[in-house]
């Protein structure tokens, strides 16, 4: 276990209140102690960390930069955890998610508004250069909300060769091959979901043989065979995220696979729960149960040790802590961190 874990919290704060919060984890209890905050652009909703841990990148869901939002860079103080703003770059749309490639050369951002993906180079000092590539999605699917593309997340596979964009509007996980030498995203096909499901967040299993996407409107998880050599996703299962008989309005949000590859977790907004699944040997899922969480769990996260799960209560301004049991089961510790509209948590182990 890391001697120290810092946590960075993205949120929906605006104007003079716009800030990224940071804190420290008590490794023995999982409790978060807030240490400070850094003023920034409005709505610093989603965060990503550089592989070195020296820099952090935040997307801002605004329309004030060439009619869209931006991605900002920050230097991380290794001792205090404090952030120092460096610069920002427009993303060409309204971004809601970002990631850094494993080599630390590029930040990729998904624009929900506009339905596109932006790729920015990272300079040697961690700051961002002008956009290297931009991919505009085209098309639609079967519901009114899917009349146009909505790129909802962007993730990179463990080989650092492929990027996956879950596009809610297209009902596709769009696959790009990463050309890091040229700074380009090369079209490489797509994985599909049931029409109207609305894919949102994506993860590759540690085995690198299976992958998962959680579907916002269908309240399901789609399971794929992932062929890393060919770069293809093949559907093999679809499973609900809500209990049998639940009929109220609810929409999924986030999903994560435990580091040991044994458990998958997905969040429900409306049902306000974390759904847990056992991951079988072939990558398929079996429901374990549902843990109640505060409204609205837009994002949740597992710490670096895998001992603690944190659920961001966007509408309750709270982050409760859950202990992760030997079989992946969750139990509330009673510790709750209060912070404005938490919608993203990222951990830095030192």
- pLDDT digit string (tens) for 3-17? 899 999 999 999 999
The structure's pTM equals: 0.98
Regarding whether 345 and 270 lie in a shared domain, the answer is no
Range 125-147 average pLDDT: 98
- Please answer whether residues 60 and 44 qualify as being in contact, where contact means their C-beta atoms are separated by less than 8 angstroms: yes
pLDDT computed for residue 33 by the predictor = 98
Range 214-235 average pLDDT: 98
Range 110-136 average pLDDT: 98
Beta-sheet strand order (sheet of 133-136):
94-100, 106-113, 116-121, 133-136
> Which residues lie closer than 8 Å to 322 by C-beta, 6 or more apart?
30, 274, 291, 308, 309, 310, 311, 330, 331, 332, 333
Picking from 295, 312, 339, the residue at the C-terminal end of a domain is: 295
Picking from 273, 295, 317, the residue at the C-terminal end of a domain is: 295
Picking from 295, 312, 336, the residue at the C-terminal end of a domain is: 295
Regarding whether 87 and 199 lie in a shared domain, the answer is yes
Q: Average model confidence (pLDDT) for the chain? A: 97
- Please answer whether residues 159 and 106 qualify as being in contact, where contact means their C-beta atoms are separated by less than 8 angstroms: no
Regarding whether 151 and 56 lie in a shared domain, the answer is yes
Regarding whether 217 and 81 lie in a shared domain, the answer is yes
Regarding whether 140 and 48 lie in a shared domain, the answer is yes
Percent of the chain with pLDDT over 90: 99
pLDDT computed for residue 1 by the predictor = 59
Regarding whether 331 and 267 lie in a shared domain, the answer is no
- Please answer whether residues 220 and 235 qualify as being in contact, where contact means their C-beta atoms are separated by less than 8 angstroms: no
pLDDT tens digit string along 226-285?
999 999 999 999 999 999 999 999 999 999 999 999 999 999 999 999 999 999 999 999
Range 195-214 average pLDDT: 98
Q: Give the three-class secondary structure for 15.
A: helix
pLDDT tens digit string along 62-74?
999 999 999 999 9
Regarding whether 319 and 188 lie in a shared domain, the answer is no
Range 306-320 average pLDDT: 98
Regarding whether 115 and 259 lie in a shared domain, the answer is yes
Q: Domain range for residue 306?
A: 1-38+296-350
Regarding whether 184 and 123 lie in a shared domain, the answer is yes
Strand partners, 313: 297, 318
For residues 156 and 96, what is the distance between their CA atoms, to the nearest angstrom? 16
A 10 A CB-CB count for 311 gives 31
Regarding whether 200 and 61 lie in a shared domain, the answer is yes
Number of domains in the chain: 2
Regarding whether 33 and 179 lie in a shared domain, the answer is no
- Please answer whether residues 319 and 312 qualify as being in contact, where contact means their C-beta atoms are separated by less than 8 angstroms: yes
Domain holding 280: CATH number? 2.130.10.10
Residue with tokens 């899917």: 146
Regarding whether 335 and 254 lie in a shared domain, the answer is no
């Amino acid at each position: 276990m890391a001697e120290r874990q810092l946590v960075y919290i993205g949120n929906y704060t605006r104007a003079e209140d716009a800030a990224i919060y940071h804190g420290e984890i008590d490794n023995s209890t999982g409790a978060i102690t807030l240490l400070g905050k850094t003023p920034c652009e409005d709505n610093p909703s989603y965060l990503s960390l550089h592989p070195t841990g020296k820099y952090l990148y935040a997307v801002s869901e605004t329309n004030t930069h060439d009619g869209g939002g931006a991605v900002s860079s920050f230097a991380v103080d290794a001792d205090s955890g404090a952030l120092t703003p460096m610069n920002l770059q427009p993303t060409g749309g309204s971004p809601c998610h970002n990631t850094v490639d494993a080599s630390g050369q590029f930040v990729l951002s998904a624009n929900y508004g506009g339905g596109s993906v932006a790729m920015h180079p990272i300079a040697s000092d961690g700051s961002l250069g002008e956009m290297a590539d931009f991919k505009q999605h085209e098309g639609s699917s079967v519901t009114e909300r899917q009349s146009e593309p909505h790129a909802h997340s962007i993730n990179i596979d463990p080989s650092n060769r492929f990027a996956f964009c879950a596009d809610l509007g297209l009902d596709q996980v769009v696959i790009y091959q990463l050309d890091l030498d040229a700074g380009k995203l090369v079209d490489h096909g797509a994985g599909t979901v049931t029409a109207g499901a609305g894919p949102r967040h994506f993860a590759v299993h540690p085995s690198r043989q299976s992958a998962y996407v959680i579907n916002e409107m269908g309240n399901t998880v789609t399971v794929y065979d992932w062929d890393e050599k060919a770069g293809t996703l093949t559907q093999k299962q679809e499973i609900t995220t809500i209990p049998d008989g639940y009929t109220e309005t609810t929409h999924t949000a986030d999903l994560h696979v435990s580091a040991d590859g044994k458990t998958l977790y997905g969040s429900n907004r409306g049902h306000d729960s974390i759904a847990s699944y056992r991951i079988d040997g072939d990558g398929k899922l079996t429901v374990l149960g549902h843990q109640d969480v505060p409204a609205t769990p837009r994002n949740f996260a597992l710490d670096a040790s895998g001992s603690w799960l944190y659920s961001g209560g966007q509408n309750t301004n709270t982050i409760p802590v859950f202990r992760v049991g030997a079989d992946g089961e969750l139990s509330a510790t009673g510790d709750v961190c209060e912070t404005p509209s938490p919608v993203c948590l990222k951990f830095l182990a030192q």
